[in-house]
Structure 1
Amino acid sequence: MREIRRDDDGALLGFLRPVGGVWEPLTVFGYPLGEPRPEEAASDEVHRSGLEVLMRPWEFLEDGEWYRCVILEAAAEEVRIQPNDHRYPHNVYALTLEHPGPATFRPQ
């Protein structure tokens, strides 16, 4: 994987993963930002939405139910989230999801 960083301050925006001759744009925690594409287009996608997508509402899957949440922190291969759904049955401030992917974690 190749890191994509912001030019002015070096902040990590996300990654590019090689996939059969093209590149898949990924968030800082490895979530796909779209379909694989040529390197420049994939890099542009990470620059455009790599950090912005972290501020959107998300949903996580637990016991067969999808619950709304917000991302508190994002790191390589994990996110710390805060459930933000009145239906969520547990009284917790935050949860850590390891290796979140589309089957268990998705933008709302």
Structure 2
Amino acid sequence: MYTIRRDEDDEIMGYVVPVGDHWQATTVFNAALADPTSLEEAEDIVRRDGLSCLADRWLVEYDGEWREARLQEVRPDSVRLWWADPMIEQSPHGQWIDTRAHKIRRA
């Protein structure tokens, strides 16, 4: 696994992870950014989308269904999110989700 950092301030932008003979571009919380590809292309994807994608809509598998959410804060093993469905009862501070226990993908 390679950590990709922003040149200006050393901020972690994401990771490039080996997958068979290819490389997977992932976010800072290890969600896939694209299909596996070459090492160079995976690194380019992380540099292009690694941080900006955090503002995108995401889908989270939760209680057996896919729910749309917005990320509020991310850590390597968890994300704090706000469910997009206004009918879901939730804390005004969002909800922490363990990214190892739930599938998360870009909407």
- TM-score band by shorter chain is 0.7 to 0.9
Q: 1:100 Cα shift?
A: 5.3
Q: 1:28 Cα shift?
A: 0.3
Separation of aligned partners in 1, 2:64 and 2:87: 13
Match of 1:27 in 2: 27
Separation of aligned partners in 2, 1:86 and 1:50: 28
Q: Aligned residues: percent identity?
A: 32
Query: Do the aligned residues in 1 keep the contact of 2:30 with 2:76 (CA within 8 Å)?
Result: yes
Q: 1:62 Cα shift?
A: 2.8
Q: 1:107 Cα shift?
A: 2.1
Separation of aligned partners in 2, 1:32 and 1:53: 11
Q: Deviations over 1:51-72 (max 9, x none)?
A: 1111011232333343332101
Output the amino acid matched with 1:92: S
Output the amino acid matched with 2:49: S
Output the amino acid matched with 2:45: E
1:15 counterpart = 2:15: yes
What is the alpha-carbon root mean square deviation over aligned residues?
1.9
- Figure out how many residues of one structure are paired with residues of the other and give that number: 106
Q: Deviations over 1:49-108 (max 9, x none)?
A: 0111110112323333433321011111211111231131x232311111258x732322
Match of 1:107 in 2: 106
Output the amino acid matched with 2:11: A
Structure 2: unaligned runs, 5 residues or longer: none
1:38-49 matched pairs, under 5 angstroms: 38-49=38-49
Q: 1:78 to 1:44 in 2, by over 3 A?
A: same
Match of 2:81 in 1: 81
Separation of aligned partners in 2, 1:91 and 1:9: 35
